[in-house]
Amino acid sequence: MNNNNFLISIVIATYNWPEALGACIEACFRQSDRNFEIIIADDGSGEPTRALVEELCRRSPVPMRHVWQPDDGFRLAESRNNGILAARGDYIIALDGDCVPQRDFIAQHRRLAEPGFMVTGSRILLSQAFSARVLAEGLDLQSLTLGEKLRYRLQGGLGKAAQLLVKLPDIGRRRHRFSFRRIKGCNMAFWRSDLESVNGFDESFRGWGYEDSDVVARLYHAGVLRKDGAYSTEIFHLWHREAKRDQASSNQHIVLERMKDRTTQAAIGLREHANTQAAPAAVAK
Residue 282, pLDDT score: 57
Q: What is the pTM of this model?
A: 0.92
Is 126 exposed, middle or buried (CB count within 10 Å of its CB: 0-12, 13-18, 19+)?
buried
8 A C-beta contact, residue 251 and residue 207: yes
Average pLDDT of the segment spanning 275-282: 55
Residue 205, pLDDT score: 86
Residue 180, pLDDT score: 77
| pLDDT, tens digit, 9 for 90 and up, residues 198-211 | 999 999 987 777 89
Reduced to 3 states (helix: H, G, I; strand: E, B; else coil), residue 225 is: strand
8 A C-beta contact, residue 31 and residue 103: yes
β-strand partners of 8: 36, 91
Residue 260 CA neighbour count, 13 Å, CB half: 5
Q: Which residues contact 199 (CB under 8 A, 6 or more apart)?
A: 265, 266, 269, 270, 271
pLDDT at residue 218 is higher than 90? yes
Q: In the chain, where are the structural domains located?
A: 8-270
| pLDDT, tens digit, 9 for 90 and up, residues 28-50 | 999 999 999 999 999 999 999 99
Residue 101, pLDDT score: 98
Is 239 exposed, middle or buried (CB count within 10 Å of its CB: 0-12, 13-18, 19+)?
middle
One-character DSSP codes across 8-75: EEEEEEE-S-HHHHHHHHHHHHT-S---EEEEEEESS--HHHHHHHHHHHHH-SS-EEEEE----S--
Beta carbons within 10 angstroms of residue 168's beta carbon: 12
The per-type count for the chain, helices as H runs and strands as E runs, is 10, 12
So what CATH class is 8-270? alpha beta
| pLDDT, tens digit, 9 for 90 and up, residues 52-84 | 999 999 999 999 999 999 999 889 999 999 999
The radius of gyration of the chain's CA atoms, rounded to the nearest angstrom, is 18
